[in-house]
Structure 1
Amino acid sequence: MTRNSRFLFAVASLRTLLAALLIALLGSFVHAQPAKDMRAQLESGRLELTQIEAALQRETLDDKRLSELRARIEPLAQAVDEIIQREQPRADEIKARIEKLGPAPDASKGVTESADVAKDRADQQQQWREADETLRLSRALDLRLDQMKEAIAERRRQNFTRQILQQGASIVSPLLWIDVSKAMPGDFRAFRFLMQHWAEVIYANLDWYEGVVLVLLAFVAVVGLPRARQWVRNASFGRLLGGGVDAGGNLTRLAKALMALRMVLLNALAPAALFFLVHWLFQGFGLLPGRADPVMESITNGFAFVFAMSGLATGVLSPARADRRLFGLSDRMAIELWRMIRLVALLFAVGKVFDAMQAATVASLPMTVATKGIFAVMIALSLARGLKRAFGEAAMEGTTGGFLPIRLAAWTATAIIGGSALFGYVSLAGFLTTQVVWLTILALVALLVLVFIDELLGTGLSSTGVLGRRVREATGLTASSLDQFSVLGSGLARMILIVATIMLALAPWGLDSSNLIGNLKGAFFGFQVGGVTISLSNIAMALAFFIIGSIATRAIQNWLETSYLPHTELDRGLRNSIRTIFGYVGMIIATMAALSQLGFSLEKLTIVAGALSVGIGFGLRSIVENFVSGLILLWERPIRVGDWIVLGTEQGTVKKINVRATEIQTFDRASLIIPNSELISGRVKNWMHADRTGRIIIPVNVDYQADPEEVQKLLKDAALAHREVMSEPGPVVIFKDLGESGLDFELRCFVDVDAMAATRSELLFDIFRRLREAKIDIPYPTRRLEITNLAAPGTPVSEADLLGAETGPIEKPSAKGER
């Protein structure tokens, strides 16, 4: 290592030590007991913040310097928060003690108190004043820190916008290439000088034992790396986690994911570790001059990046082995996407190496612009070629509907990258290229992690999975409890993965995760109306909050309905109530988040609520009444989804309880929409409110010649023989009456309400059959007509005789068989 490099290393180490001492000093003042020491530490933090504010006033601060200032604020903010959290409970306790002591008595009225009580009150009041003053100073400093964070974030947004939107010469402009041809000889001389100086440093500083180490490292790479690759390839991770083949002899999804992970380890981590080791050895042996170190670092990072992207794409897409592919991609699509990712990664890495070389040689601006533009255009062309070959034939056949959003986003990014480079926005093209590469890495990693989440938590940890069976054997959990835990665990892991992916996707845009929302609003202007800032960014973010909240609410509802609640022992009505309540809560939270983003505070919302109350009083009363009635239905649950209810002349099954009305499906398969207020205030018959038991009454009339006890036994046997009739309470036969035509009986039995109609019909068939087999007649009413004063055949009949005949018949009812 040269003297200059050692001096730089010592200076960097000293700066790191001083920063650590400053952080330790700022963090230690929260533990100081006396109030004066705490005030001194607050004053020290205030002076530090004043220095940061003075540094922020400079107009030449770049993003790196702003990040350093932001990092200096963090320990100050953390220390102030700790002071507030510590002093606030102390101040509350002192105030409570003062209230217990009460106010000082009025000496003019002759009321006195002991000296000890007066002294104690005075001490407590002094302590409270000191604690209150400390809290005031801490809160004021905390407010200044927050304002300084926002100011730094605003400056970073301005730098970011100015940098990526700065227009230069187009790469198709002849003037640019004229400037490049003029500057090219000087740039080549600087590059040749850098390489010669590097070679001289290696020749001067490389000792024989260092050369031996490098040769041994090369030997290990050539001999040991293939053996390591073979070990990773043969490692039996699948048997450990239950991966293998299914009943059909095909690889399970977990086995495919494990093979993909092995491929990433094989092609990414091992070569990357080798290249980083070489770079570290070059630094340790002093073989890198000052300007060559960034070049060597970019070369090392480039090789590691290309191998990592190749291994990641190979593991996830599996272009050569369709049986190991994690997702349902065609062979052509997988191969073309794999080639596109590798080519773009190679061009991206080479471009970064050229950037490092140009920075080391202080290349001319035209050469830098031309190089960046050429690589941006090459990456755009590679993306266009890969997308066309991967999705072209499938799009013609109409088989890529599921990839339409990805295709549109990729083609849009490709067009913007190429257009930006052609129109002179080289910085914007380079920035978008970096984002495309970064999003590709995140997508591949997230897909691989998602498969492991589904297989290990969703499937493997379920009651039927390998890990789930082992957990049940070790803990004794029931199958339903383990299934619930599996669904909840996979859902939580999915949510964490999505949030982490979104945060990492937004990180390269120069945004701080601690102030993410404020950074997204930075480029837009707004105006104030009544203290509320109206701007495009606020409106866009409010809509985004509401849409994301609505989508998340629907996703949680669907997840509860399809995944979690079916594994519980809750009835269908309660499951629907839980799902509906989650929907209400989610929509309320999404609405509140959107209004908060627009700047509506609680005080401003009271004005809107007052205006709404007037509207409710006039025209929205019935809607609010139905809404409140719907909440009562969900809370008290007098009517649940799936209940059989009777309302007036209508009856049917409850299908859905909505905000305003309840949907009932009648037995005629028609939908009946009933306002919720009618169900709360009206009279409703619910067959299933207490239980699902319903009573069937079947009247039976037999001939007077039948034996009543035999009929009773016959009816009871028929009921007991039916599978739907409950044994407890059992069926009952009642001898109801001596009827005009026969003996009246009633069979009363209890069945499930859903089976009442079918059971009644089947019992009638069975009773009729049994009566016929027992030769017991079922009577029916008969009429006997008697005509008197009827003349003999052939005798003329007068009109008076006819009138007498009309009034003469006598009707007498009789049972069947009477004579």
Structure 2
Amino acid sequence: MHLSLFSSSFRRPAWLTFALLLVAGLMLAIAAPTLAQGNAGDDATSRIVQAELDVRAVDRALDADVKDEDRAALRSRAQSAKDASTQAVAELTEQLGLINARIAGLGTVTPGDVEAPELRAQRRTLTGTRTAIDAAIKRGRLAGVEAGQLIDEIDRSKAEQFSQKLSSKVPSPLSPTFWTAVLDQAPRDLRRVTLFLRQGGDQLARQWQGGIPWHAMLGCALAVLLMGPIRLGAHRLAQRRLVAEAPPSRVRRSSNALWRVIVGTLCPLAAAFVFVQGLHWSGLLPQRWTGLLDGLVFASGLAGFTAAVTGAVLMRSQPSWRIAPIDDETAQRLRPLSWVLTILTFATAMTGAFVVAIGSSRAAFVTTQAIEALLHLMLIVVTLVVLGRLRAARAAHAECDETASAGVSAGLSVAVLLAWIAVGVAMVALLIGYIWFSWFVALMIGWAVLIGSALYLTMVAADDIATTVFVRDSKVGVTLTRALGVRGSMVDQFGLVLSGTVRLALVLLALGMLLQPFGASGDPSAVFGRLGLLVEGIKIGGVWVSPGAILQGLAVLFVGLTLVRSFMHWLNHRYLPATDLDGSGRNSVSMVARYIGIALAVIWALASLGIGIERIALLLSALSVGIGFGLQAITQNFVSGLILLAERPIKIGDLVRVGTDEGDVKRISVRSTEIELADHSTLIVPNSELITKSVLNKTLSGPLGRVQIQFSIPIEADAAAVRQIVLDCFQQQDAVLAEPAPAAFIDSIVDGRILFNCFAHVASPRAAYGTRSAVLLTLLHALREREIAIGTVAQRLELVQPGLPEPRGEGKDDSGMK
């Protein structure tokens, strides 16, 4: 009761309470952005602090000897710290921009004026916040730089370790020293194997006596189902759905191949996983077997991938679903070898896991690598021999055509030659003691075959799907055309661009996976950046020059030019034909793209050598002096070529006359233009001649050609009848156009003769000459039937005796000539 009396004595008016609430709401609304920025800034700052802690932890861990798996974890942690600091810096930079804008909004204080306390407090708060955010941004950038340096250090150490393994040498397997070391360590290795197996057997016996291991049995049953009915059922279901729903095109076959790879990889992987998990849940095997069981899962997935990829490429049992250009005989001969490769892949992975699990001696480890290398090399040799015999059989076949007798393509021939060289080098290295190098080369050949096969399948599938879905006649294309008003050619172009983009990404991904063992992180540019560590050089002008650097630059240039060539092939044969450009426009786009691509490839190669953009610019500035003095003509033609490609006063296919020569424009480059003359010879004209001199282009404004016929008839003849005869002769020729209509005019009457000048138009200037001849033949025949004599204006020759005055007004035509 006392409280109620006390509160009632201090009750405010309603309007005052509403005003206080309104002021409080306005203050909260004004302070909300600042509070939100403060919370976001605190979160970003905390992430930077955590990134700094991670960077220091990685740096301390690298001070000790680090294993391969620990190195990968440290690299991942450093990369996460770098990404977190980069993202935090971006967020803080945005907040800093907002703070600066608010400070700018307060304006500057005029000397002598007294700023309001609220503004002064706000300015002081904003300034302090800006200082804190700026400091956090600098710390984040520093953490990102340090994390990047640690990542580079880890990659360098991995590359150095890889190069050390390549150069490691042991006694030759042909020498007694090698086998002496193996025999010396054999008793200890046998005891290790026996102990490992006995521990597993004892654990299995104890757990089995305690009851039926339902988890293991269930896992085993699921593994059998996944490898048998589920895998086969998935294949059959996919084929039935594709036959029923997919259009009868390459999309059906490429989708089936991709599905076979996916199912063939995931089913063995999942089967091994559930089998191992059942063993773990049942506790049938000791903890020491964990590494071996994990190796079983990895080996099953890798073997399944090998079998699925090779099977999808060969398609021995279903040749109608095969997308690779392989005949049935080749598929039949290579399929058993692919199964041998699958078994070797599984055995290699399991052997490595078993050797690590038992902790075998170095001698046993090297021996297993030597055996694996020898088996892989033998398989490669057998495969190359089979391919060689197939090629020889096709070439010697009496009924094969010229294309088949030519053998395999040039690219495959080069690949086979490189494979033989690699096998020879690996075999020699194995015999002299470079076991790890030989083992690595043998496995890399198999890995390259798998990656190349998978890349081929995915690239074909990507191209088929993209160019089938995004085409003007497809459902998607019709929808885009009708609903959004997109042109059909734009839909086709988008499909081609999407196909090219996806295939380029697949190539880069495959290249990163292929070069992963070289110490790269999956980035091809990182691999090229690490090749220089293998060979030391000398530093000249801030640039390291060494054989390794030169080979690196050449390799990068070769890769760049290969990419440019592939892009130009796609541009000229796939993308440009789908556009609305004419032949000249395609030539212009192709020419400019080609030179830009070559320039980028050269810059990439120079950058890989350590020559930065600033040095390239300095080199170009120095060359410009020589260009200005000694290469004026070449520069003039180059600039003129660019003008021709841009303005297009002359296009490919135009009929032009340069001086006294007339012909069709066949090619326009940046230096010269090629014109094919009537005698099939080629006239090469510098581009500067076409820009600075007069050129007659007969097809620039329009494609039409004109036929002109001039003749005369006696004045006694019927001029109207002759005119009608001429028009009838024009109409009898199919090449003469009805619009513009043919016309016949009386040009003049001279010396008792009527001069006719007649015109007709044809579809092209190239058809004018033949049409004119045909019209003349018809006209001569028609006039002879009507006994009308035709000819030219009669000429009269008078001999004037010297000394006599020339007669006036006699013997001259209209031009004053006798």
Pairwise TM-score range, normalised by the shorter structure: 0.7 to 0.9
1:69 is aligned to: 74
**Residue 688 (str. 1) matches residue 694 (str. 2):** no
Equivalent position to 1:519, from 513, 521, 530: 530
1:768 shift after superposition: 2.8
Helix, strand or coil at the partner of 2:533: coil
Partner of 2:200: 198
Q: Report how far residue 33 of structure 1 moved.
A: 3.6
State how 1:323-362 maps to structure 2 within 5 Å: 325-362=322-359
CA 1:601–1:189 in 2, change beyond 3 Å: closer, same or farther?
A: closer
Structure 2 residue corresponding to 1:56, chosen from 55, 59, 62: 62
Partner amino acid for 1:190? Answer: R
Look up the match of 1:419. Answer: 428
Give distance in 2, aligned partners of 1:488 and 1:240. 29
Q: Distance in 1 between matches of 2:221 and 2:140?
A: 61
SS of the residue 1:168 aligns to:
coil
Q: CA deviation at 1:737?
A: 0.2
> Whole-Å Cα distance in 2 between the matches of residues 700 and 627 of structure 1?
48
Query: Is 1:164 matched up with 2:161?
Result: no
User: What is the CA-CA distance between 1:547 and the residue it aligns to?
Assistant: 2.8
In the alignment, what sits opposite 1:238? 242
Which of 269-278 and 645-654 deviates more?
269-278
Cα distance change on mapping 1:335 and 1:411 into 2, 3 Å: farther
| 1:789 corresponds to | none
Distance 1:574 1:211, change over 3 A: same
**Residues 445 and 685 of structure 1: is their aligned pair in 2 closer, same or farther, counting only changes over 3 Å?**
same
1:723 counterpart = 2:720: no
Matched, 1:373 2:370: yes
**How many Å apart are 1:39 and its aligned residue?**
5.2
Per-residue deviation, residues 9-55 of structure 1 (Å, max 9, x unmatched): xxxxxxxxxxxxxxxxxxxxx98647677556544533432332232
Q: Tell me, in whole angstroms, the C-alpha distance in 2 between the residues paired with 1:39 and 1:301.
A: 41
* Correspondence for 1:800: none
Superposed CA offset, 1:493-539 (max 9, x none): 33222222212211233311354443333323233222223334433
Asked whether the equivalents of residues 180 and 367 of structure 1 are also in contact (C-alpha less than 8 Å), the reply is: yes
Superimposed CA distance per residue, residues 748-782 of structure 1 (whole angstroms, 9 cap, x where no aligned partner): 23332232222222222333344345543314677
- Which amino acid is 1:443 matched to? G
- Aligned counterparts of 1:92 and 1:478: Cα–Cα separation in 2: 43
Does residue 757 of structure 1 match 2:766? Answer: no
Asked whether the 8 Å contact 2:730–2:742 carries over to 1, the reply is yes
**CA displacement, residues 406-451 of structure 1 (integer Å, 9 cap, x when unaligned):** 2123223323333333222222233333323322221222222233
In the aligned structure 1, how far is the partner of 2:359 from the partner of 2:228? Answer: 41
CA distance in 2, matches of 1:523, 1:32: 50
* 2:220 and 2:275 in contact (8 A); partners too: no
Segment of structure 1 superposing worse, 518-527 or 370-379: 518-527
Are the equivalent residues in 2 in contact too, given 1:333–1:391 (CA < 8 A)? no
Q: Which moved more, 1:460-469 or 1:71-80?
A: 460-469
Find the counterpart in structure 2 of residue 21 from structure 1: none
**Contact preservation (8 Å) 1:63, 1:159:** no
State whether structure 2 residue 185 is matched by structure 1 residue 183.
yes
Q: Does 1:399 align with 2:407?
A: yes
**Residues 1:287 and 2:284 aligned together:** yes
Return 45-54 or 652-661, whichever deviates more: 45-54
Work out the CA distance in 2 between the residues paired with 1:536 and 1:100.
60
SS of residue matched to 1:167: coil
The aligned amino acid for 2:235 is V
Matched residue SS, 2:170: coil
Alignment partners' CA distance in 1, 2:141 and 2:81? 12
The aligned amino acid for 2:190 is F
Aligned to 2:6: none
> SS of the counterpart of 1:665?
strand
- Give the drift of 1:610: 3.0
Deviates more, 1:490-499 or 1:770-779: 770-779
Q: What is the match of residue 45 of structure 1?
A: 51
AA aligned opposite 1:719? F
- What is aligned with 2:315? 318
| Counterpart residue number, 1:151 | 153
What letter is aligned with 2:84?
A: A
Aligned CA distance change for structure 1 residues 317 and 784 (closer, same or farther; 3 Å): closer
Stretch moving more, 303-312 or 750-759? 303-312
Distance in 2, matches of 1:215 and 1:152, equals: 44
Following TM superposition, by how much is the alpha carbon of 1:74 offset from its aligned partner in structure 2, in angstroms?
Answer: 1.8
Matched, 1:586 2:591: no
Query: 2:93 maps to what in 1?
Result: 88
The residue aligned with 2:790 is: 778
Change (3 A) 1:104 1:687: farther
Structure 1 distance, partners of 2:265, 2:46, is: 52
CA distance in 1, matches of 2:749, 2:574: 60
Deviates more, 1:415-424 or 1:652-661: 415-424
How far apart, CA to CA, are the structure 2 residues paired with 1:371 and 1:331?
36
1:615 to partner: Cα distance: 0.7
RMSD of aligned alpha carbons: 3.7
The one-letter amino acid paired with 1:431 is F
Match among 476, 488, 496 for residue 487 of structure 1: 496
8 Å contact kept, 2:45–2:88:
no
Residues in 1 aligned to 2:107 and 2:557: alpha-carbon distance in whole angstroms:
51
In structure 2, the CA distance between the partners of 1:185 and 1:141, relative to structure 1 (3 Å rule), is: closer
Equivalent pair of 2:528/2:556 in contact (CA under 8 Å): no
Letter in 1 for 2:510: T
Distance 1:624 1:93, change over 3 A: farther
The residue identity in structure 2 corresponding to 1:284 is W
Query: Cα offset for 1:738?
Result: 0.5
SS at match of 1:513: coil
Report the CA distance between 1:735 and its aligned residue: 1.4
Counterpart Cα distance in 2 of 1:602 and 1:191: 59
Please state whether the residue corresponding to 2:515 is helix, strand or coil.
Answer: helix
Contact 2:109-2:115 at 8 Å conserved across structures: no
Q: Distance in 2 between matches of 1:55 and 1:300?
A: 30
Alignment of 1:539-688 (within 5 A): 539-688=550-699
2:175 matched to which residue of 1? 173
**Secondary structure in 2 matching 1:612:** helix
Kindly state the Cα deviation for residue 307 of structure 1 after the two structures are TM-superposed: 4.6
Give yes or no for contact 2:303–2:343 (8 Å, CA) kept in 1: yes
- Whole-angstrom CA distance in 2 between matches of 1:600 and 1:405: 32
Mapped partners of 1:237, 1:50: distance in 2: 56
1:303/1:120 CA distance change after superposition, 3 Å = closer
Confirm or deny: 8 A CA contact 2:167 2:434 kept in the other structure. yes
* 1:180 partner SS: helix
* Counterpart for residue 766 of structure 1: 778
1:24 counterpart residue number: none
Letter in 2 for 1:73: A
Listed as ranges, the gaps of 5+ residues in structure 1 are 1-29, 245-251, 787-810, 815-819
* Identical-residue share of aligned pairs (%): 26
Counterparts of 2:628 and 2:49 in 1: how far apart (Å)? 57
Aligned length: 749
| Aligned equivalents of 2:559, 2:261: Cα separation in 1 | 33
Instruction: Give the deviation of 1:473 after TM superposition.
Output: 9.6
Query: 1:233-264: CA deviations, max 9, x gaps?
Result: 364133245465xxxxxxx7555546655655
1:94-118 deviation per Cα after TM superposition (whole angstroms, max 9, x unaligned): 556767877765x5xxx75865888
Aligned partner letter, 1:145: A
> CA distance change for structure 1 residues 393 and 475 in 2, over 3 Å: closer, same or farther?
same
Show CA shifts across 1:134-174 (max 9, x none): 33333333222222221221122112222333222332221
Worse-matched range after superposition: 559-568 or 628-637: 559-568
1:309 aligns with 2:306: yes
Q: 2 CA distance for matches of 1:96 and 1:218?
A: 67
CA distance 1:405–1:31, change in 2 (3 Å): farther
Matched, 1:383 2:388: no
8 Å Cα contact 2:675/2:683 also seen in 1? yes
